[in-house]
Chain A
Amino acid sequence: MSRKVLLIEDEPNIAEAIRFLLTREGWHVETHAEGLDAIQVIQGANPDLVILDVMLPGKSGMEILRDLRELEGMQDLPVLMLTARGQSRDREMAENAGVSRFMTKPFSNAEVLTAVRDLHAQATRS
């Protein structure tokens, strides 16, 4: 069965890079570039994993994550958050909002892959 990842990122070049990496790992990658309707997109796509940017047009990744965790059946969905603002305050906020893993841009490709693998392994074990 195919593993599905939903990538919510408004920078097209970054989205393309991640898509390239994860596709080669055997993931099915869907992308979205808007913040406002991100929750509905997540609910509709029903992914195994979400990669979420913080600075999104319309609604910030933090808010999306907070709202997402309120929803039924979304508490355990692995969410990997990416931000270009690498301040410790952002990491705290993300953790409070229920993030599964938090990464600062620019990242190395290996890091992203390891993180995605780990999160997926945890999710399937439990």
Chain B
Amino acid sequence: MATLNVLILVCLGYVVLLFGVAFAADRMAAAGRGAWLRSPLIYTLSLSIYCTAWTFYGAVGNAARSGLEFVTIYLGPTLVMLSWWWGLRKLVRVGRTQRVTSIADLISSRYGKSNTLAICVTILAVLGGTPYIALQLQSITLSFSIFAEADPSGLYREGSSVFWVAAGLAVFAILFGTRNLDANERHHGVVTAIALESVVKLFALLAVGVFVVWGVAGGIGPMMDRIDASEIGQWNVDAGRWTTFIFLSAAAFICLPRMFQVMVVENADEGHLRTAAWAFPLYLLLMSLFVVPIAVVGLDLMPEGSNPDLFVLTVPLSQGNDWLAMLSFIGGFSSATSMVIVTAMALSTMVSNHLVMPIWLSTQEGAGSVSGDVRSVVLVARRVSIAVIMALGYYYYRLSGGGAALASIGLVAFAGISQILPALVGGLFWRGATRTGALVGLTVGFVLWIYTLLLPGMGGAIMPDSVLQNGLFGWAWLRPQALFGIEGMDPMVHSVMWSLALNTAAFCAASLLSFPSPLERLQGAQFVNVFDHSVSPAGWTGSVAQSEDLMIMTQRILGSGPAQEFFQTEAEAQGGRSSLPEPTPGFLERLERELSGSVGAATAHAMIGQIVGGSSVSVEDLLAVADESAELLEYSSQLEVKSAELSRTARQLREANTKLTQISEQKDSFLSQVSHELRTPMTSIRAFSEIMRDTDGLSADEQTRYAAIIHDEALRLTRLLDDLLDLSVLESGRVNLNMGGDTLSSILDRAVSSALAGSHPKLKVRRTRQSERIPLHTDLDRLGQVFINLISNAQKYCDADEPVLTISAHDVGGQVVIDFADNGSGIPADAQSLVFEKFARVGGDKAGGAGLGLAICREIMQRLGGEISYLPGQGGAAFRVRLPMAHRQAAQ
């Protein structure tokens, strides 16, 4: 009797072998020396992960219980491979052109890159996949326990062994499944390892079969007799169940995440499908060849009540053929491990790409560039996902207790994953299929599957018997296994029929009723017409192509220089004498690639298609072109916006420049004015001081007079400098206002006496004291300065014989208005607008001002929150000062 320890050693050795093979294959692929790794044989063998431990052990059990019905599980994929391989080719082509990483990605990509759909499919796949993984763990445990029973000395503990198996598989999947970031890249190590496992499990099953037929039954003849005698041999076909199971297994073959992984994602060459189309059915045939004999012999040999699921193990064991039993164990182990590894890989890609990454990215929003971290985050997410999925499988196994509930889970999972089928097939062949349709169909199918199959199968704890008997809320038509009152059906058939039928109906109806987005339309066209868009190298036949036309078109797109260079190079490469190359397929392909860099792939394809005539421009081409044009339009409208922005900026710059130039000119002219105003008094001072220095015999009168002139001019200079300083402070806004309160009349009193002091008061000031009783809160000195300036101006410039200045104050709408009007000839109309400018002196007065007084007044009034203006049409010169009543504005 083989001891358990030997078995464990063999197991470990086998696992080490798998590691070694996977490692070597990865190394070879990396070194570019692995052509055979991409052979059709490896591809076909990798497809055989379809046969899990459930098939390896369970097929015999199934046969022992239900006769030939087990064949349906093999018939489905066989039918798909033989009769629908062109459909698979389309799937593979789409997967490659769209760089699809999983079935969730494919569905999402087809329906306008909808992540909602991807999440739905991912959840569905995880929900269906977890019990399936648990089932594999159970098979390993059961097979272990067979050996453990036979060897009581062994130190076998069920729980821990399953844990270590699960952990080991997780490590393997992480090591070889998450090496590359790009999930679209092939995992040579894993694929090679599962191909090896396929050989092992086939060999093991065949060995057991040969042993049973020739070793136990004694040859083919006696074997056939035994089969005929047994119930299993009777054709007992339940049409409903058979059809359902064949359909289910066919659907699952296409939709299962692990199948999609090996069939589409890991596919290196579409041509491999041709080989697989006959080789894979052959593999399935060999796998099923000895199922019935083993079942029949098992039923004969084994005691009543022994588990037929383990006949593959127990029959050799009962015959004392330990080594064969061990081989069989390894076969089952292989089936389980390969399935678990690939499933974990496929599911982890979905979970990390569609659940983890979107969440992670949304938490990173606003954190700026994330490109540096993404790679490591994706890898970590994928590794953690693998570990989590394995843990889920492990806990599901522990929770379910590994009992009979698990045994039926295979078909339940098939039924669940098949809900993807309508969206998948519809997406590949029907351009009208929409995102909404896919979402509604999936949801309907998903819900019905859970309600009619998953929950009832989980026992009374999850779904009470009352619901099963009387329907949800007591509504009979909602009975999970007799929806709408259709009774008496097999629960599996019932569920599959309703869920898929309503799924498909909802998918079609919602697709017809909803309107696809442009992206969906485009993706739809690219999926449905994938063979028209993705050009294979021999796509063009240039028999009627006009090289000249191509040249002209190319010149238009690339510019004449690069176009001629390209054609020249091509012509030389062809070795012809002509300067134009022959339109060979190779040349056309390169030309298309060259053009697509400028105008987009679809446009380039359509343009060359037009000229070469190899294909007319289809609606889909136009759609693709339209989409590209839309992008271009979008881009160009962005450019327009940018260009508008630029011209706005340019205008602003021009305006700023004009302003600066003006300011610069104003500054020059100001400096020139200042210079003039300074030089004039200095000229007098210099001239008279030289006269007094150089002239002998000046009279005392002359001396006094000239000294007085010098004195006056010096004062004039001082005043000018004071004014300039004052103005510059006011203009810069750095002035501190000294707020205080007083009445208008007393401010005017002080201003009048100050302005008229020291001169012969020829000017008469007329006031109406009654109206001046207005309280003011302002900078009293500054306001007084304005009044003094206006009064002095009247005194200096009023040319009337009897100059009179009339000061009148009113209160107008919360403002104090004070008018200063004299009875002179006033200011000429053309000069009125200039009086407040710096150095603007009207009429060439020589009254001693530099022309800064009114400019200063204007600045002061602005600071005080009021204004000063010239009042035309008053006869003489008239100024109006406005000030807010009780002005409380603080210094600005």
Contact = CB atoms under 8 A, between A and B. Distances in A.
Interface in A46-61: 55-58
B680 A84 contact: yes
A83 B672 CA distance: 12
B683 A84 contact: yes
Contacts of B762: none
Contact of A87 (B672, B691, B694): B672
B846 interface: yes
Contact of A105 (B672, B679, B690): B679
B684 A14 contact: yes
Contacts of B679: 84-86, 104-106
B843 A57 contact: yes
B682 interface: yes
Most buried by A among B682, B684, B691, B709: B684
A62 to B, nearest CB: 14
A84 B677 CA distance: 8
B688 A17 contact: yes
A84 B676 contact: yes
A72 to B, nearest CB: 30
Interface stretch (A5-13, A37-45, A91-99): A5-13
B691 to A, nearest CB: 6
Contact of B686 (A12, A86, A108): A108
B715 interface: no
A108 B690 contact: yes
Contacts of A105: 679-680, 682-683
Interface string B657-685: 00000000000000010011101101111
Q: How large is the interface on A (under 10, 10 to 19, 20 to 34, 35 or more residues)?
A: 20 to 34
A85 B690 contact: no
Contact of B691 (A12, A17, A86): A17
Contacts of B695: 24
A106 B686 contact: yes
B684 A17 contact: yes
Q: How large is the interface on B (under 10, 10 to 19, 20 to 34, 35 or more residues)?
A: 20 to 34
Contact of B846 (A10, A16, A106): A10
Contacts of B688: 13, 17
Nearest to B677: A84
A14 B680 CA distance: 8
A16 B843 contact: no
Nearest to A34: B844
Contact of A18 (B680, B682, B687, B709): B687
Contacts of A20: 691
B713 interface: yes
Contacts of B677: 84
A109 B694 contact: yes
A108 to B, nearest CB: 6
Given A11-B684, A17-B691, A106-B679, A58 B844 contact: yes
Interface of A: 10-14, 16-18, 20-21, 24, 55-58, 84-87, 104-110
Interface of B: 672, 675-677, 679-680, 682-688, 690-691, 694-695, 709, 712-713, 843-844, 846
Given A13-B687, A86-B675, 11 more contacts: A11-B683, A13-B684, A13-B709, A14-B683, A14-B684, A55-B676, A57-B843, A84-B676, A85-B672, A105-B683, A108-B686
